[in-house]
Structure 1
Amino acid sequence: MRQKRAKAYRKLMSLYCMSFGFRQPYQVLVDSEMCKTAISQKYELVKQLGVVLQGEVKPMITQCCIHELYLQGKSEQPAVDLAKTFERRKCNHREAIPGDECLSDVVGATNKHRYVIATQSTDLRDKLREIPAVPVVHLNRSVMILEPPSNATLKAKESTEEKSMHASTSENALVASTSQSSEPPRKKHKGPKGPNPLSVKKKKTGSDAPKRKPIAEAASSPNRKREDDEQEKVQVEPSDPAHKRKRKRKRRAEGAASDGEDEVEP
């Protein structure tokens, strides 16, 4: 498959997934004509369905479609064998009806089970285009093609988007109304504003600030004690009378000694 076509198919399947809830593995209803064409052209049907739909697939077939293959005799036995490998989808038809009518009945008016239809019948494809959200696959010679979305599909997509938009707006309005009713509006407290942080002088850090000893440490330091003792001695010395007497005696003795030396000299 070419890259451009693969990109277009990927976008188309993402549309079905986002807007209509399609999920992997995709349920693919195959009709009897598709089985016969795949056998005649030696086409790997299941593998190519996975390539075109860009994901895992679960091929299915109804009992009415298999009955059509049985009616065509032994010549279509390979197609019958291929159909038997698919999962059987109950169509709840007591008597077998044509395959086109069976598939249109299974899809219904809204395709609520989200089937992908793989068919070679042009009449069935025309009917399915009138039903929204029905991906249709067919073989054109040896190329499998996923048909673009029909007008009914595009209209259904627009309506679902509008509903989702209205639902989201209504939910937001409900949430806003409940929040307003439950919590009264808070008044802003106007007080004095603080100083501009750019104009405030920075505090000095530990390295910049002058180092000062605490009062307790200064009082208990040994240098402080020595200074206090010396001050006490200085205050005590001039007021002690005994100390004064000793000094006077010392001075008298020194004076007498100096007089004796003067007399001895010739």
Structure 2
Amino acid sequence: MRVKKQKRHRRAVRFYTACFGFREPFKILCDGTFVHHLLANRITPADTALANTLGATVKIFTTRCVLAELRSLGDAYSDSLNAARNLITARCDHEKRKSAEACITEVIGENNSEHFFVATQDAELRKKFQEIPGVPVIYGLRNALFLERPSTFQHEFAKTVEEERSHMTDLEYKMLKVKKRKVATDEARDFPDANEDHEDRILEAQDLKRNIKRNRMDTKDKAQFKRKKAKGPNPLSCKKKKAQGNTDAASAKERSVDDSARNRSRKRKRSRKSKNTTEPIVG
């Protein structure tokens, strides 16, 4: 049960932070009934108990009208008065004392611009704040604290605000229209011949297209690639053909030349002796 309660509280806190801009540390505005309930049920320290409920750090506030009301209740609420004096005093700007309900209602206002969590035991005040967008309410039950779920009115208000953010307001639309008109006049003033230049460019482009078409009509279609034809052998690299008879005569002639060369090599060279040579004397 305790885990479910914590999940419910965290879901409600995420709703208020996402849709209404609540940020840590959360500010809690207490009235006299809530302070008296904390002391009667010994829920102390109060800041720790409230921080555990919301899952974030907190600052506790009260007003001068709440302190004056506790003072008027007598000695039975003296402990509650002393505890409330230790809290931060929120500015209420009331010269004459008002009831705690009226004072807190005026501090919250129509849209809770200060992003207060209201802590009270007053059932009528809790019901009233459910009809004001962006006002989370905390109350005590015995020795436990609870954060009320966002009402259907608060959910619908957050949905409508989100839809309005996605669309332009009438003022924004008028401002955008005026800005566009101003930009158009400035461009016309800076570039008076812009339209004429644009038309000239269009005409030049059309003439260029016509000339290209005419050139294509005049020229014949040519093959982009020529096929290579098979060519004969190079005549310079080929030997000339010789007749059969001529070859036989040439071979016979070569044979006779070889034989004569052999005969010449076989002839013996004779050495001639000189006539003046004398025989040796034997002695």
TM-score by length of 2: 0.58
Q: How far off its partner does 1:260 sit? A: 8.3
Instruction: Please give the residue correspondences for 1:6-21 in structure 2 after superposition, counting only pairs within 5 Å.
Output: 6-21=6-21
Question: CA deviation digits over 1:161-186, x for unaligned, max 9?
Answer: 1112325xx99xx9xxx9xx99xxxx
One-letter amino acid of the structure 2 residue matched with residue 78 of structure 1: D
One-letter amino acid of the structure 2 residue matched with residue 118 of structure 1: A
Q: How far off its partner does 1:20 sit? A: 0.7
Kept in 1, the 8 Å contact 2:63–2:91? The answer is yes
Q: How far off its partner does 1:259 sit? A: 5.9
- Distance in 2, matches of 1:11 and 1:76, equals 35
Structure 2 vs 1, CA of residues 11 and 260 (structure 1 numbering), >3 Å: closer, same or farther? farther
**1:148 corresponds to 2:110:** no
1:92 corresponds to: 93
Q: Which runs of 5+ in 2 are unaligned?
A: 188-264, 274-283
- Distance in 2, matches of 1:11 and 1:114, equals 17
1:122 corresponds to: 123
One-letter amino acid of the structure 2 residue matched with residue 35 of structure 1: V
Question: CA deviation digits over 1:64-122, x for unaligned, max 9?
Answer: 10111111223322212211221111111111111111111111111121110000011
1:63 corresponds to: 64
- Distance in 1, matches of 2:28 and 2:116, equals 6
**Structure with larger Rg:** 2
- Distance in 2, matches of 1:154 and 1:107, equals 19
Structure 2 vs 1, CA of residues 60 and 259 (structure 1 numbering), >3 Å: closer, same or farther? same
One-letter amino acid of the structure 2 residue matched with residue 128 of structure 1: F
One-letter amino acid of the structure 1 residue matched with residue 24 of structure 2: Q
- Distance in 2, matches of 1:142 and 1:86, equals 21
- Distance in 1, matches of 2:270 and 2:55, equals 139
2:113 corresponds to: 112
- Distance in 2, matches of 1:125 and 1:4, equals 22
One-letter amino acid of the structure 1 residue matched with residue 135 of structure 2: V
Q: How far off its partner does 1:26 sit? A: 1.0
Question: CA deviation digits over 1:226-262, x for unaligned, max 9?
Answer: xxxxxxxxxxxxxxxxxxxxxxxxxxxxx9xx9689x
Identity %: 28
2:237 corresponds to: none
One-letter amino acid of the structure 2 residue matched with residue 114 of structure 1: H
1:46 corresponds to: 47
- Distance in 2, matches of 1:78 and 1:151, equals 38
- Distance in 1, matches of 2:55 and 2:71, equals 32
Structure 2 vs 1, CA of residues 260 and 8 (structure 1 numbering), >3 Å: closer, same or farther? farther
1:185 corresponds to: none
2:233 corresponds to: none
The 4+ residue runs of structure 1 with deviation greater than 3 A are 258-261
Kept in 1, the 8 Å contact 2:13–2:54? The answer is yes
1:202 corresponds to: none
Deviates most, 42-51 or 70-79: 70-79
Q: How far off its partner does 1:151 sit? A: 2.4
Q: Which runs of 5+ in 1 are unaligned?
A: 183-254
Q: How far off its partner does 1:5 sit? A: 1.6
One-letter amino acid of the structure 2 residue matched with residue 43 of structure 1: I
Instruction: Please give the residue correspondences for 1:1-266 in structure 2 after superposition, counting only pairs within 5 Å.
Output: 2-44=2-44, 45-167=46-168
- Where 2:167 maps in the other structure, the secondary structure is helix
Q: How far off its partner does 1:12 sit? A: 1.0
TM-score by length of 1: 0.62
